[in-house]
Amino acid sequence: MTVSDRIRSARLAAGLTQRQLAAETGLAVSTVSRIERGHVLPSLASLELMATAMQTTVSRLTQETGHDH
């Protein structure tokens, strides 16, 4: 599972739309979409904002676990 996949999965688990996540983080909706599609890598600052909004951690969004294979 890629970082993009984990971000999308966490957003859906948090019950947020891309628009809601963008509003909570100050990111553009198009940026959230491009991150989730793997077209751009988020900055650490963006990852921190997104993790907080989705009530998870940056490490959960970025680190592979045994369940990701």
Q: In the prediction, which pLDDT does 68 show?
A: 45
CA distance 22 to 50: 8
CA distance 4 to 20: 17
Domain assignment present for 29: yes
Indicate the number of domains in the chain.
1
**Is 65 part of a structural domain of the chain?**
no
Q: What pLDDT shows up at residue 64?
A: 72
The string of pLDDT tens digits covering residues 10-68 is 999 999 999 999 999 999 999 999 999 999 999 999 999 999 999 999 999 998 765 54
| Chain-centre distance for alpha carbon 62 | 9
In a domain, 49, yes or no: yes
CA 12 to chain centre: 10
Give me the CATH number covering residue 48: 1.10.260.40
- 28 within domain boundaries: yes
Q: Is residue 32 part of a domain?
A: yes
| d(C-alpha 16, C-alpha 43), whole Å | 20
Q: How many CA atoms lie within 13 A of 30 on its CB side?
A: 0
Range of the domain at 28: 3-60
Domain assignment of residue 11, yes or no:
yes
In a domain, 68, yes or no: no
Residue 69 scores a pLDDT above 90:
no
